[in-house]
Copies of this chain bind each other. A is one copy, B any other.
Amino acid sequence: MEAKKNRLVVQKYGGTSVGTVERIQEVANRVIRYRNRGDSVVVVLSAMSGETNKLVGLINEINPNGSAREKDVVLSTGEQVTIGLLSLALEAKGCEARSYTGTQARVITDNAYSKARISEIDGSKIKEDLNLGKVVVVAGFQGVDAEGNITTLGRGGSDTTAVALAVALDADECQIYTDVDGVYTTDPRMVPEATHIPKLALEEMLEMASQGSKVLQIRAVEFAYKYNMPIRVLSSFDDGDDGKSTLVTREEDIMEEVLVRGVAFNRDEAQLTITGVPDQPGVAHKILGPISDANIEVDMIVQNIGTDGATDFTFTVHRNELEQAKNILAETGKSLGAKNWSSDDKIAKISIIGGGMRSHAGVATQMFEALAKENINIQLISTSEIKVSVVIDEKYLELAVRSLHEAFDLHEA
């Protein structure tokens, strides 16, 4: 890390990084190391690991169908505890600190409780404290709406808080501390030969996150992409500062460096198919309209070329919403006079991602070839400028990820 003076860094620590008193002390030590080299530091914290689940347990015992407003009031206490505790830990080590709840940090959101979106952050008070030499410790995951109601941003929202704060404060870098030391070519738990990626384009990270990489929250990456904020992913378990990290920036030249940056996957989706529907304008809308009216998010959509005036239509949704989607599709099927409708939740989606794809043809073909060699059948295909995704039978997931990882030369040298 360069020793530039007067850098402002925003550091976000997740639940396991503040899961115990000892881990909180270690976070304090790291913050002080940055302070001592002249950086200004804003820290964004999650709740202690386990705490949010405990609160969710209490809520579900009392009223799982209660208003999201009141749930957010309960859930937002987790981060409020950690910001106070870290500030106390910093004070104990002689470092002035000041905590901010979402309300105090003026993290203004809409009023979509439990999944609120940040509309604005007024960083003026935080800047005053930074100018006084204090470390500022902000509760992640939470904000306040225009009427003063407490809102939460949804799971993983602390990443978004961190990036949004970094943007609002015009920080030099947003550091996301987690339990891994950066982004890998694929999940090392599945493929031990996965390679660490030291530098990555925000656009690539965006695709990795949306295609299943859990390292960064997708909304946080979207925010960083939109406002051109560099993100660095680091491990809070590395004690020194010479550990590995992944820097995610918008620099265009990174993009072209390699053909395929990594292999992402997820098992969270299920697919629904409707066959023998009239192949005429508006049919896609007739099928998907009711689904999106029910607030079910659709990921992949594939329509086959119609024969005999009829066509087949397949799309994927999150597994949690499969039952609801099935019921809606059955209604649609009946009203359209479709031949058949069915669903499958034993699927997995695998994606290869890389900025280099833009200027290279044949990457998709190479992917299909690698899968064919292992006799893995492809059920759906979807492509974008810098990624190719396929849906396969869930039971071949691991084999497919390993094969693709090797086929694209991502194995560690």
Q: Known contacts A21-B58, A61-B21, A77-B80; is A88 also within 8 Å of B101 by CB?
A: no
Interface residue? A36 (CB, 8 A): no
**Would B59 and A88 count as touching, CB distance under 8 A?**
yes
Residue of B nearest to A106 (CB): B148
- Among B25, B67, B77, B87, point to the contact of A91 (Cβ < 8 A): B67
User: Which B residues are in CB contact (< 8 Å) with A84?
Assistant: 59, 70-74
- Among B25, B69, B148, B149, point to the contact of A62 (Cβ < 8 A): B25
**CA–CA, A25 to B83, complex, Å?**
31
Digitize A32-70: 1 where CB-to-B-CB distance is under 8 Å, 0 elsewhere. Answer: 000000000000000000000001001101110111011
User: Which B residues are in CB contact (< 8 Å) with A92?
Assistant: 62-63, 65-66
The winner among A21, A25, A61 for most chain B CB atoms within 10 A is A61
User: Which B residues are in CB contact (< 8 Å) with A148?
Assistant: 103-104
The A141-178 residues at the B interface (CB cut-off 8 A) are 148-150
**Would A21 and B62 count as touching, CB distance under 8 A?**
yes
**CA–CA, A276 to B83, complex, Å?**
54
- Among B21, B67, B87, B99, point to the contact of A88 (Cβ < 8 A): B67
- Among B21, B97, B101, point to the contact of A150 (Cβ < 8 A): B101
Q: Known contacts A101-B150, A103-B103, A150-B101; is A87 also within 8 Å of B73 by CB?
A: yes
**CA–CA, A103 to B102, complex, Å?**
12
Instruction: Give the size range of A's interface with the partner.
Output: 35 or more
User: Which B residues are in CB contact (< 8 Å) with A21?
Assistant: 58, 61-62
- Among B58, B62, B73, B99, point to the contact of A101 (Cβ < 8 A): B73
The winner among A59, A76, A87 for most chain B CB atoms within 10 A is A87
**CA–CA, A89 to B63, complex, Å?**
6
User: Which B residues are in CB contact (< 8 Å) with A73?
Assistant: 80, 83-84, 87, 99, 101
Nearest chain B CB to A382's CB is how many angstroms away? 41
Interface residue? A81 (CB, 8 A): yes
**Would B71 and A88 count as touching, CB distance under 8 A?**
yes
**Would A81 and B62 count as touching, CB distance under 8 A?**
no
Pick 29 A–B contacts, CB within 8 A, sort by A.
A21-B62, A25-B62, A58-B81, A62-B85, A62-B88, A62-B92, A63-B88, A63-B89, A63-B92, A66-B88, A66-B92, A67-B87, A67-B91, A70-B84, A70-B85, A70-B87, A70-B88, A70-B91, A71-B84, A73-B83, A73-B101, A74-B80, A76-B80, A101-B150, A103-B103, A103-B148, A104-B148, A104-B149, A104-B150
Q: A66-B92, A67-B91, A74-B84 are in contact. List 11 more A-B contacts (CB 8 A).
A: A25-B62, A55-B81, A59-B85, A62-B85, A62-B88, A70-B85, A70-B97, A73-B87, A74-B81, A74-B88, A77-B80
